[in-house]
Amino acid sequence: MCATVLAVDFGTSNSAAAMLEAGAVRRIPIETGAETLPTAVFFPAENGAMRIGSEAGKALIDGEEGRYMRALKSILGTTLFHETRWVGGKRRSLAEIVTAFLAVVKQRAEAQTGQDFSHVLSGRPVHFHSADPERDARAEADLRGCYEAAGFTEIRFLFEPEAAAHAANPDEREDALGLILDIGGGTSDFSLFRRNGSKTEILASHGIRLGGTDFDQEISMNHVMPLLGHGGLLRRSFGEGLLPVPNAIYRDLSNWASIPFLYVRETERAVEDLLRHAVESEKIGRLQDVITEQLGHELAFAVERGKIAANRESAAARIDLGFIDPALSARITPGSLNAALSGFREKLRTAIMETFLLAQIPPNRVDSLVLVGGSSLMRLVSDEAREICPGATLRRSDAFTAVVDGLALASAEAFSA
């Protein structure tokens, strides 16, 4: 039975697959030469075959005409997930697109292993949506439906930080306590656990809807969007005085999930109206170029690269915006990065402390802090964790594969009942 279970970490930014083989984790390269792939799709403009992962990103970078989409997981549990839109020459829903992505993952895993995977153990965040149990349940139902439509007949879920706990290497001392900090693209999840021999005991799990895409959005709003007119002023159509430029387009343009939905005539008309009334028309003109030339994802990738550089404490980091204007860039420093993300520190701290409250265990009892997920590499995460648990050892797990490894290790037990 275990050999037929596919472990899938369907992430906001990256995905991975694995299986348990002879008691050991076997990661399955569902993208050539890589153990993970970007959770992204590209649909050519006129009915071409869907591309996923790095191939989708390459099509975007190469300037192929079509629709690029990323961060689809963040739409689970919303009405938008089942609405149809014109994508790649036909009307499709996001549910159909996620299903197609998972179907390719299944097909590639089967081709790589020679197995027929009818069973899947999928990771899921502790909460898809913070403080909204109804939407949270709907999100899992949405994802379950996609797995079913992709060809799986038995589907089970495990909280992502609990999966990571199965793969963690905590303090070797008997009864040592570990805290998983799984900071992904869309959610931050925490599990307090104890390892008893080969057994992993989960003491409490908690999570909030906050992740790397939120970090990117705030960095973009603080560093890039002012160069496109955000924070500027508009002249009134009638009468004297000035009005602030509305925020809505900028918020959507800085959000991975909402970028594709800006490329409609309604948005173009709204930007044209802004341009007619703008005090700083050059900046709004850049916004118009981004919308009409569909440069939103290139902008988001540039912000992501700048974030990584500044997080490495590069004082000379810049967000290169040459694809909008050859001379355009935005300076980003460790200090400006910290300022942009300062509002998230209290949310992270509160969520971590709530995990300890759920377990009724004080933070000073923790022996190991285990960082998981791409966004756990951000300094604000390790800084907050160290401040809460100053006596704990900080351990960096395999950021992008810890969850899928743990899912594979837990797969036999998940389907034993």
CATH topology of domain 173-396: Nucleotidyltransferase; domain 5 (3.30.420)
Helix or strand run (H / E) with residue 393: strand 393-396
Residue-wise pLDDT for 147-183, tens only, equals 999 999 999 999 999 999 998 865 556 678 999 999 9
pTM for the structure as a whole: 0.92
Q: What confidence score (pLDDT) does residue 173 get?
A: 65
**Is the domain covering 2-162+402-414 a CATH 3.30.420.40 domain?**
yes
**What is residue 1's predicted lDDT score, i.e. its pLDDT?**
43
Q: Compute the distance between CA of residue 204 and CA of residue 155 in angstroms, rounded to an integer.
A: 23
Please list, residue by residue across 253-273, b when 16 or more beta carbons sit within 10 angstroms of its beta carbon and e when fewer do.
Answer: bbbbbbbbebeeeebeebbee
Task: Quick: pLDDT tens for 291-343.
Answer: 999 999 999 999 999 999 999 877 779 999 999 999 999 999 999 999 999 99
Residue matched to tokens 């992993």: 200
What does the pLDDT look like over 351-379, one tens digit per residue?
Answer: 999 999 999 999 999 999 999 998 998 99
Q: Which tokens hold the place of 111?
A: 């081709």
Domain ranges of the chain: 2-162+402-414, 173-396
Name the strand (E) or helix (H) holding 196: strand 188-196
Token digits of residue 398:
């395999």
**Which residues, 6+ apart, have CB-to-CB distance to 36 below 8 Å?**
14, 15, 16, 400, 401
Q: Classify 407 in phi/psi space as left (phi over 0), alpha (psi -120 to 50) or beta.
A: alpha
Closest CA to 185 of 214, 207, 161, 206: 214
CA dist., res. 311 & res. 306, Å (int): 8
> What is the pLDDT at residue 215?
96
Please tell me if the domain spanning 2-162+402-414 has the same topology as the one spanning 173-396. yes
pLDDT for the residue numbered 2: 45
CA angle 320/34/161 to nearest 5° reads 85
Q: What is the mean pLDDT of residues 212-226?
A: 97
Residues 6+ away with beta carbon under 8 Å from 94: 72, 75, 80, 81, 82, 83
> What is the model's pLDDT at position 171?
54
d(CA 100, CA 95): 9
Q: What is the pLDDT of residues 67-114, one digit of tens each?
A: 999 999 999 999 999 999 888 888 999 999 999 999 999 999 999 999
List, for residues 103-154, the tens digit of each pLDDT value. 999 999 999 999 999 999 999 999 999 888 999 999 999 999 999 999 999 9
Report H helices in 203-295. Answer: 212-223, 248-253, 265-277, 281-292
3-state secondary structure of 30: coil
